[in-house]
Structure formats: C-alpha cells, structure tokens
Amino acid sequence: MFKYAHLQPSVPVAVVKEILLNLPAEEVVLKCRLVCREWKMLVDSQSHWRGRCRREGIEPHNTSRAPADWQRFYFLRKKQRNLLKNPKAEEKLNGWEIVHNGGDGWAEEGSRVPLFENTVTKCFITSYMLCLKQQIIDLKKEGYSPAIMDQWQPNIKISDWYTPRCDCGCYYKIFVRLLGQNKEELRTFHDKVVFPQWNDEQWCHMTHVLKNYGPGVRFIQFIHGGKDTQYWKGWYGIRLTNSSVEICLEDGS
C-alpha cells in the first residue's frame, strides 16, 4: 500500500525556499533543517539568512562590509537590546538590588546637567558612604542559549554614564563579572574614577567590551555606584544613568 505523499511530485526548490523564509527562524533551525539533506543545505546557506535580514530590514551598520556569517548576524542583531532594567531611574530603584546603601542611601533626581539633549532626564544619586547596586542578568532567560554563548562567544558591551557635583569630590566604581552556571566567576572587569572638589560637572561615558571569554558564561553581574569624598550629609556623591549591557557582534554593531 502506497502512501499518498509518495505519489506527489517533488516540491520546486524556489517554493521550499519561500516556505522556509516565512517560518520562524528558531523553528527553521531546530526542526526544518532536520527534515532532509536538501533542507539542511538551504537552511545553512548564507543566502537564506541574507534573505531574512533583507525582508526584516536588519542591515549592517557598515553597509560596505557584508557580515562573514549571516546567520550569526541575524540572530545577534535580532536579539540585541539593553539587558538592564530601568537604566535611567525612570522607575525609581525598581529592577535594581541594593548591595550597599551607605550614608543617606540611594535616591534619584532630575539630571542637573543635560544628557543627550535632555532625552535622559533622571539619574541615580549616591551619598556620603559607599552606595552600590546591581543586576544579575540570566542570559538563557534573555534568549541567549548556552550554544550561542559557548560556540559564538559574542562580544558583551558594557556602557555607563556618570557625573560628579561641581562642589563636592566623589568617586565612581563599576564591577562586571561573567558568571558560570553555579555563579562562579569566569571573567571580571572593574574600574574606578576619582573626582576632585570643584570640577566641571560634565557627564563621562564608560564603555568596555568583553570578548574571547571562553565557554560557560551563563550570567552577567553588573555592579556600580560610588560616594562623595567630603562626607557631606545628603546626596553629593556620584550620579549615574543610561547604563547598558548588550550582546553584540564583533564590530560592536
């Protein structure tokens, strides 16, 4: 007894290509490429992922240089976003875990100095004893599977904005740790900047890219903060806002 499917003529390749382009990308990779050798070749082809990028308007920042791997480019650009919650103090301290709450503790206020033409209007402020806050990012929950992190090891771009008060000395600290499955430390980055009293009170931008960190990264711990150095009651310490952690491509796009 013959199955009906055996009597059907083979589906033209152009039709199969169109079907694959209209299915969710994850389903194409996890299911469709396992159907047969021909489908696997189509799914693994650069033309399939280049076509997906074109249809969804996903383009390289540098259009004169095509990505070496269109599949990697598609998935990383599709997922790319700031993984930190409430980075601009718009929801007070929601999303952040307080590590140290020294002096009068963490608070938030309107930015004293404009940032990005006043598109960022609020900031976190610190006091006269050490103030630190953190977020721990679960990469799997954010859509970055162990396979992506272990095989591709995409760059992890850290960014932060901070400013002192003009009338009070202070310092800024940041720690970023890449953690394994059991929260063991695999890689770390830290920095500290000290400001004197009577400074120009301008926003400073900290940026750092973690790369070639090896397999096993499952969490990112982002900690930052600081304090004033005059020990004045109130909130004369470092101001922070617009922090970000992004998983990005090798060229930072």
* Predicted local confidence at residue 7, as pLDDT: 37
d(CA 246, CA 235): 30
Domain that holds residue 202: 97-248
Give the pLDDT band of residue 220 (cuts 50, 70, 90): very high
d(CA 168, CA 238): 9
Determine, yes or no, domain membership for 184.
yes
Q: Could you give the dihedral angle defined by the CA atoms of residues 140, 43, 213 and 241, in that order, rounded to the nearest 10 degrees?
A: -60
Q: Could you give the dihedral angle defined by the CA atoms of residues 42, 46, 51 and 53, in that order, rounded to the nearest 10 degrees?
A: 130
120-125, strands of its sheet edge to edge: 107-115, 120-125, 239-248, 155-163, 204-210
User: Is the same domain home to 17 and 140?
Assistant: no
User: Is the same domain home to 14 and 58?
Assistant: yes
Local structure of 188: helix, strand or coil: strand
Per the CB < 8 A criterion, the answer to whether 213 and 186 are in contact is yes
Does 6 have pLDDT greater than 70?
no
Determine, yes or no, domain membership for 88.
no
Determine, yes or no, domain membership for 84.
no
Tokens for 172, please give them: 């800024």
* Predicted local confidence at residue 9, as pLDDT: 53
Does 250 have pLDDT greater than 70?
no
Does 11 have pLDDT greater than 80?
no
* Predicted local confidence at residue 159, as pLDDT: 98
* Predicted local confidence at residue 66, as pLDDT: 82
pLDDT tens track for 128-149: 999 999 999 999 999 999 999 9
User: Is the same domain home to 56 and 102?
Assistant: no
Does 96 have pLDDT greater than 80?
yes
* Predicted local confidence at residue 251, as pLDDT: 57
Tokens for 50, please give them: 């280049």
Does 110 have pLDDT greater than 60?
yes
User: Is the same domain home to 101 and 75?
Assistant: no
Identify the residue with better confidence: 136 or 65. 136
Which range, of 62-66, 95-99, 178-182, averages the lowest pLDDT? 62-66
* Predicted local confidence at residue 59, as pLDDT: 84
Angle of helix 13-21 relative to helix 46-56, nearest 10 degrees, comes to 50
Does 178 have pLDDT greater than 60?
yes
* Predicted local confidence at residue 253, as pLDDT: 52
Q: Which of 79, 114, 144 is the last residue of a domain?
A: 79
